[in-house]
Amino acid sequence: MARRKICVVTANRADYSRVKSVLSAIEEHPDLELQLVVAGSHLVDHYGMTVRDIERDGFPISRNVHMELHGNEPVTMAKSVGLGVVEFSSAFYDLKPDVVVAVVDRYENFAAAAAAALMNIPTAHIQGGEVTGTIDESLRHAMTKLSHIHFPSTELSRERIVRLGEDPKYVFTVGCPATDILLSAPRYDLKKLQDEFRSSVKDPSIGFDPSRPYIFMVQHPVTTEFGSGRAQVEETLEGIAARAHQVLVLWPNIDSGSDDVSRGIRLFKIAHPEFTVLTLRHMPHTLFVNALRSAKCLVGNSSSGIREAGYFGVPVVNIGTRQSGREHGQNVIHAGYSRKEISEAIQRHTEHGPYEPEHLYGEGNAGVEIANILATVPFPEVQKKLHW
């Protein structure tokens, strides 16, 4: 019997961490053939050219899909989706996969799911059924309806997918694949962490010292609040500065409004030369895990605060609407966009200190489970039928 050709799409640093263990498991499975399509900000130098990480990890890339239009505005993001549908269609036409795997809630992966559905290719969706804010909420549920096989991270997400009318026999609760590499990442001692930061920083005079308490900030633009990114991130940084002496900042993602967030970070650094702000466009995943593990607190609106931080009990201050509704542990508290509210939340959290770890999003075996299901599940008909 011919091996099933599984075409996986990854479009940025975040969804790569959510699918890396799946790629390994597909490669190792005797009945599967991996086809990897790399797209989006992976191929943009301004965002770290993270395709190099994929190449260093040894995964063979079947196609590169260039789809990002410059501008970081809603109109360019919408046009990038249109270009993505065109380019993914060409890639799928050439590769002829048996299944396309679309990940999470990104607009790039939405373009891939739309192209596959229109080409009558069975589509599998990882991490559907979750509830959040911004445009991701709509795109995620749209991808569920475009897909035929579903791999939610939690039982509550599975229930939501079934309530959307999807066939329960094709909805498999497997946990989040990002948990697989999170739990398998080697732990750095302080010297190793310092060495890794030094190698990542072009300007060693920045003064950031991971042996001293620091706050880790990851804040992305909220696409449905376009135009507010600069003010929002400035409030966040002012709130952090009131409670800490140094902050590690991971650059925002490519969504519309990211230039506003980046500008706010730069202007804050100019206005506060006395405050240590280390900004990195990209962090290798193992460094990210160890930086998160060692942080006094994670502040921002990244899903890593909702998901990964809980495995280490790191206190998290989640800001604004981007993660509204997501399941989270006791380590997460929510704040609005005012510096006063953010500062007070950080103080409450840091006074509490680390929390007990909680494993809400799986136990580290999602990649293998997904590969085994993709190898054995009878393919559903591409004609969707509601199951109420």
- Runs of H (alpha helix) within 295-365: 303-306, 339-352
Determine the Cα–Cα distance for residues 216 and 235; give it in Å rounded to an integer.
15
Residue of 102, 129, 130 whose CA lies nearest to 328: 130
Topology alike, domains 4-176+362-376 and 188-352: yes
66 neighbors 43 (Cβ within 8 angstroms): yes
State the pTM of this model: 0.90
- 171-180, 232-241, 377-386: the lowest-pLDDT one: 377-386
User: CATH assignment of 188-352, given 3.40.50.2000, 1.10.3720.10, 3.20.20.140, 3.40.710.10?
Assistant: 3.40.50.2000
What does the pLDDT average to over 102-119? 95
Average of per-residue pLDDT values in the chain: 93
CA-nearest of 268, 245, 270, 247 to 317 is: 247
CATH topology of domain 4-176+362-376: Rossmann fold (3.40.50)
Which tokens belong to 364? 């580290």
- Give the span between the Cα atoms of 144 and 166, in whole angstroms: 8
Q: Does pLDDT of 21 surpass 70? A: yes
What residues have CB less than 8 Å from 383, skipping those under 6 apart?
none
pLDDT for 206:
66
Do residues 254 and 72 make contact, with C-beta atoms less than 8 angstroms apart?
Answer: yes
DSSP string of 335-349, one letter each residue: E-S-HHHHHHHHHHH
Please choose, from the candidates 179, 256, 186, the residue with its C-alpha nearest in 3D space to the C-alpha of residue 220.
256
The rounded distance, in Å, linking the Cα atoms of 112 and 114 is 5
CA 183/CA 168 separation, integer angstroms: 29
Cβ 24 vs Cβ 38: under 8 Å: no
Handedness of CA 41, 44, 45, 49 (dihedral sign): positive
The rounded distance, in Å, linking the Cα atoms of 252 and 217 is 10
Domain ranges (residues) in the chain: 4-176+362-376, 188-352
Predicted pLDDT of residue 350:
87
Give me the pLDDT at residue 146, please: 96
Per-residue pLDDT of 308-344, as tens digits, reads 999 999 999 999 999 988 999 999 999 999 999 999 9
The pLDDT score that the predictor gives to residue 337 is: 96
Q: How confident is the model at residue 202 (pLDDT cuts 50, 70, 90)?
A: low
pLDDT (0 to 100) of residue 291:
96
* 52: CB partners within 8 A, 6+ apart: none
- Helices H, strands E: what count in the chain? 14, 12
Q: What pLDDT does residue 234 have? A: 96
The predicted pLDDT at position 72 comes to 79
Say what the pLDDT of residue 200 is: 77
Q: What is the mean pLDDT of residues 155-181?
A: 96
